[in-house]
Amino acid sequence: MPPDLITHLQRLQHAADGALAIVTGRPLEEIDHFLAPLRLPAAGVHGVERRSADGRLTYLPVPAVERLLPYLSPLVSRHPGLLLEVKRGALALHYRRAPECEHACLLAMTEALLQEQGFVMLRGKMVVEAKAADISKGSAIAAFMQEAPFAGRRPVFIGDDITDEAGFAWVQSAQGGGLGIKVGPGDSQAHARLASAAAVRAMLALIMQ
């Protein structure tokens, strides 16, 4: 974690009367580990798990991702650079250390999702995921916006990956009435953009002055 980020997030949370949440594809425990000792309201695994501002945990019902393993494990066994990350409600096939396998990963995931119902494919940075259908970063933000201290506020969602597009779509919808900020290059439906993660941190530091 860059120095000062946790301090800036703490100050931002305070300035926003608590209305600051992390929305991620990672499991909650991973995000808590990165941000320790800070424990923010957070949605993990693209919205499958969610911790509200009052600390309440919600785990949405999801199909068993283990059903997908027979379609993916043989490929991973043949290519040691590939990594299968099994999460609750999502399964990520990482090819960062074997970029030449991208096409094979997409094919294997497509086949898996043709055979097994209840999942949709999600592209990310050097990763392709199967995640529970009907659950997304957008649905997670919508759930936060029903609750204190988010209800009645204007949501601003910042993200740098393809997986964040569902969040941008919801905050910028008529219901959300907010703003999406895409970080870095690449096509996006977000209405605003910042050049880099460093630019986001600089903006947070400026707001907190």
- Chain residues in the site for ligand L263DTV3 (CB under 6 A): 24-26, 85, 92, 94, 96, 124-127, 129, 161, 163
Q: CB of 96: closest distance to ligand L263DTV3 in angstroms?
A: 4
| Cβ-based nearer residue to ligand L263DTV3, 127 or 142 | 127
**Nearer CB in complex with ligand L263DTV3: 78/125:** 125
Quote the least distance from Cβ 152 to ligand L263DTV3, whole Å: 26
- Min. distance of Cβ 205 from ligand L263DTV3 in angstroms? 21
**Position closest to ligand L263DTV3 via CB:** 25
- The residues near 3 (Cβ < 8 Å, ≥ 6 apart) are none
Rounded to the nearest whole angstrom, what is the least distance from the CB of residue 209 to ligand L263DTV3 in the complex? 27
* Angstrom distances, CA of residue 73 to CA of 78, 91, 98, 102, 143: 9, 12, 15, 15, 34
